[in-house]
Amino acid sequence: MLELNLGLRSAAFVLLLLTSIGFSSLVQSKCIRGCDLALGSYNVEEGNDLTSISTYTNNNDINSIIKYNPTTIPNNLDIQAPVRINVPFSCDCINGEFLGHVFNYEVQSQDTYDVIAEQKYANLTTAEWVKMFNTYDPNRIPDYARINVTINCSCGDSSVSREYGLFVTYPLQQGETLDSVSSAANLSSDLIRRYNPDADFSAGSGLVYIPGRGEGEVLAQLKKIRVNHK
Ligand SMILES: *[C@@H]1O[C@H](CO)[C@@H](O)[C@H](O)[C@H]1NC(C)=O
Ligand SMILES: *[C@@H]1O[C@H](CO)[C@@H](O)[C@H](O)[C@H]1NC(C)=O
Ligand SMILES: *[C@@H]1O[C@H](CO)[C@@H](O)[C@H](O)[C@H]1NC(C)=O
Ligand SMILES: *[C@@H]1O[C@H](CO)[C@@H](O)[C@H](O)[C@H]1NC(C)=O
């Protein structure tokens, strides 16, 4: 009886230990550091402009954005909307929890969390997420208040490949598929799938991450596409 009791006790102890290991790995930090540069694929709709977009994305001026868009932004800055452009930001480890970037946004009259997520930030985030990182009541966001707009980003995954170091946070749109996204990025569907194992590319919403080897390569690739299109 004593032996059985001891056996049960040690089983219970092992169980407790396993549970607490499981639990502590859940609360353990999930990121340590981020990376200096990530890009967001920003869908420019009619009526939006580069100056506003550089303000929303806390870029000093439009030149910091133009640099990453040699093909989509013509010299006369006349963007033919709708078109996706790349906006640069740092990809940070937020509270040890996830890789993201917190933009600082000044609320304008008529803004709601929906408008901010879907229009000002072109679905790089969701209203839910904007709400989550701010204390303001969604129905009473004061004009000119500065709020946090948090978006996800990626610095890569060494278990997939070490060759890629610059990632685009890419909000999926209606009509897109894994193949359309891959061919637009000139990468294999297989590679893009491996970086986004759980993504539903045909969902018409949600984020995926598109890899590039680095700033130099992304720029070279963009230039190549421009030449090919001419
Ligand atoms: C964001 O998503 C909504 C809903 O799918 C869509 O109506 C809107 O046009 C998208 N915004 C941009 C800038 O693409
Ligand atoms: C950011 O990523 C996390 C983890 O994958 C996900 O749960 C969350 O919905 C994402 N947020 C947005 C706004 O896409
Ligand atoms: C934005 O985030 C910071 C850091 O988490 C927090 O201190 C601040 O209160 C947030 N701003 C709003 C308007 O909630
Ligand atoms: C696409 O990738 C292939 C192989 O990596 C390369 O040879 C080709 O030039 C690329 N095309 C464009 C348009 O960048």
Distance CA 44, CA 4 (A): 69
User: Where in the chain are the domains?
Assistant: 1-230
Closest-CA residue, ligand 4 atom 11, reads 186
Ligand 3 proximity of 150 Cβ (cutoff 6 Å): no
Instruction: Fill in the DSSP letter of residue 174.
Output: T
Tokens representing residue 61 in the block? 């001026």
Cβ of 134 less than 6 Å from ligand 3: yes
Three-state SS across 178-229? HHHHHHHHCCCHHHHHHHCCCCCCCCCCCEEEEEECCHHHHHHHHHHHHHHH
What is the predicted pLDDT for the residue at 214?
A: 64
Res 210 pLDDT > 60: yes
pTM of the model: 0.84
**8 Å CB contact between 105 and 149:** yes
Give the pLDDT confidence of 85-124 residue by residue, as tens digits. Answer: 999 999 999 999 999 999 999 999 999 999 999 999 999 9
Any atom of ligand 2 within 6 Å of the Cβ of 126:
yes
The residues, ordered by sequence, that sit 6+ positions from 14 with a Cβ below 8 Å of its Cβ are none
Q: Is 79 left (phi over 0), alpha (psi -120 to 50) or beta?
A: beta
Which residue from 157, 207, 208 has its CB within 8 A of the most atoms of ligand 2, so it is best to mutate? 207
The rounded Å distance from CA 152 to ligand 2 centre is 6
pLDDT in the model for residue 230:
35
